[in-house]
């Protein structure tokens, strides 16, 4: 596999004292230290109904925000409607390039493409970049769905299609709707959130025939042990819920599980 770094989709000229950031679909250059409030933060902010000076926030702004949310769904559906069979891969934003963990992501991306799948990630750094890199260099469809965050945010350069979302929940819909399976590489809170959202959707029958594969027994094993020893023992889950997750050690095994599940 060639290791040539492709031209990034994003290529901002650095100017001292400034930073480039997204505001929804728009890209703007702002002061380096300017405070930034994300769309998710605005949406989720509680406005005291007893405070009459905030009536504008409570009524007009939230109502109009719905149209922005709607437009984000439309943009996502439009951009992704032609995606062929795909697997969404989650994993740490902090996996370091060149580390074994990063290389595992590269191999997952490559093997998924070789098995005929498009690859979808969060479009950011770390395991997301690694997986996109493997998919991109293998000549496959490599999709990154990025998210507006309170700090500078870039799409990784290994994408054939990149999108930038304001709202976490809109982006999460795309992760599920356009994929036939989830693969989770080692990760932190974001990865756990994505894993458990997927698991809830499968457990409650909202999505069907949707393999969830965790790569790295040493990393994921203790979580599964806890689910068994605490959640199952305390009757918070059913024994069959544990069957919804498959833990493997290698990218090869992970892709084999996806293929064997027959999802297409």
Helix axes 189-203, 168-177, angle to 10 degrees: 60
Closer residue to ligand LYK5OOP5 (CB): 32 or 139 = 32
Q: In what order do the strands lie in the sheet with 86-90?
A: 161-165, 142-147, 118-121, 86-90, 181-184, 212-215, 245-248
**Residue 110 carries which DSSP code?**
H
Query: What does R_g of the chain's alpha carbons equal in angstroms?
Result: 20
Residue 75 CA to residue 250 CA, distance in Å, equals 35
Near ligand LYK5OOP5 by CB under 6 A, which window of 21-29, 187-195, 213-221, 237-245?
A: 187-195
Out of 167, 191, 199, 210, name the contact with ligand LYK5OOP5 by CB under 6 A. 191
Near ligand LYK5OOP5 by CB under 6 A, which window of 11-19, 63-71, 183-191, 199-207?
A: 183-191
Tokens of 47: 């406005």
Q: How far is CA 228 from CA 148, 159, 215, 223, in A?
A: 35, 38, 18, 9
Under 8 Å between Cβ of 163 and 148:
no
162 binds ligand LYK5OOP5 (CB under 6 A): no
Out of 22, 39, 86, 90, name the contact with ligand LYK5OOP5 by CB under 6 A. 90
40 binds ligand LYK5OOP5 (CB under 6 A): no
Closer residue to ligand LYK5OOP5 (CB): 195 or 248 = 195
109 binds ligand LYK5OOP5 (CB under 6 A): no
Residues that bind ligand LYK5OOP5 (CB under 6 A): 90-94, 122-125, 128, 146-147, 149, 187-191, 194
């Amino acid at each position: 596999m060639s290791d040539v770094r492709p031209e990034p989709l994003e290529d901002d000229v650095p100017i001292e004292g400034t930073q480039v950031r997204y505001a929804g679909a728009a890209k703007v250059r702002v002061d380096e230290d300017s405070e930034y409030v994300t769309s998710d933060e605005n949406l989720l902010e509680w406005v005291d109904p007893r405070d009459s000076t905030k009536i504008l926030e409570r009524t007009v702004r939230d109502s109009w925000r719905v149209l922005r949310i709607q437009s984000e769904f439309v943009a996502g559906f439009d951009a992704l409607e032609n995606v062929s069979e795909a697997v969404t891969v989650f994993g740490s934003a902090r996996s370091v390039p060149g580390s074994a963990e990063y290389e595992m992501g590269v191999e997952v991306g490559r093997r998924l493409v070789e098995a005929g799948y498009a690859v979808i990630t969060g479009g950011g750094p770390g395991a997301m970049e690694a997986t996109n890199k493997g998919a991109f260099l293998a000549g496959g469809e490599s999709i990154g769905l990025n998210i507006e965050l309170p700090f500078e945010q870039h799409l990784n350069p290994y994408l054939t299609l990149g999108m930038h979302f304001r709202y976490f929940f809109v982006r999460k819909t795309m992760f599920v709707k356009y994929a036939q399976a989830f693969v989770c590489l080692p990760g932190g809170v974001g990865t756990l959130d994505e894993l458990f959202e997927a698991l809830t959707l499968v457990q409650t029958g909202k999505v069907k025939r949707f393999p969830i594969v965790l790569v790295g027994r040493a990393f994921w094993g203790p979580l599964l042990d806890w689910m068994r020893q605490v959640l199952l023992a305390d009757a918070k889950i059913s024994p069959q819920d544990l069957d919804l997750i498959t833990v493997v050690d290698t990218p090869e095994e992970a892709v084999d599980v996806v293929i064997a599940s027959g999802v297409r």
